[in-house]
Structure 1
Amino acid sequence: MATIRTRGTARRRSARAPRSAGEWRITTLTGLGLLVLLAVHMVANHFVVKSIGGLRDYRQVLAYIANPVIFAIESLFLLFVTVHAMLGLRSVLLDLDPSPRLHRWIDRGLAVLGLVTLAYGYFLIGTLASRA
């Protein structure tokens, strides 16, 4: 155990546990998935659009998201981005070597933030799809 001195007091803290293999695999798989989904997203939304500037207008977005394959791709993109971002943020915060109690709060907070992000994103995608 490491001894950390702060203002004349010493407290014992265990060395930070290494990242689990499961977390590493999920981060890696979502990162690879993001590369593929980002390429599809960029091509479909910015390179094949017949408008000035490569952006879709509202009517074009509704027609685009009405396709079930595109709906699934955009939904997966949202899931992969959110999971990858939450794991990355968790990794950065755990590099600060928080106490076990704060570590639990970080895990819970990021889980809630991720779920809220997914709920809002899927609500928006569903709203667009329902208007198509």
Structure 2
Amino acid sequence: MLRKTIFLVSILYTVLLTAVSLVKINLNQGYIPSFGDKIFHTLAYVVFTLLWLGTFHFKLKMPFNKVLLTAALFSFCFGVIIELLQGWLTISRQGDVKDVIANTIGILFAVVLIWSIKKRLLKNNNTLLF
């Protein structure tokens, strides 16, 4: 089922992430740790990368190494574009290099996670994913 819906889920998540990134959100800062924003960025880009990795693999039938590289580059470029748009289009938000770093950590975490799953599956002679 995921193979059939992965592209739609990826698009919806991308639209949601774009909206959350460009709209002013009023949160009570007393309950959120100072590094909470960076944790959100990291987790959001882990999910973003995994979704697009699945889309590139299942819909475009790309080889494993190319899927990893394409998903990572696509996610990185998307994150940089969002940060630039925050600086150019919004008054309440500003682009931040630390956000790009947090996004990149999330992307790298997703790539390492998938790479290690792939390696473990191959070690066990099981090729369920790739």
Larger radius of gyration between Structure 1 and Structure 2 = 1
TM-score w.r.t. the length of structure 1 is 0.39
Structure of greater relative contact order (alpha carbons < 8 Å, 6+ residues apart): 2
More strand by share: 1
TM-score w.r.t. the length of structure 2 is 0.40
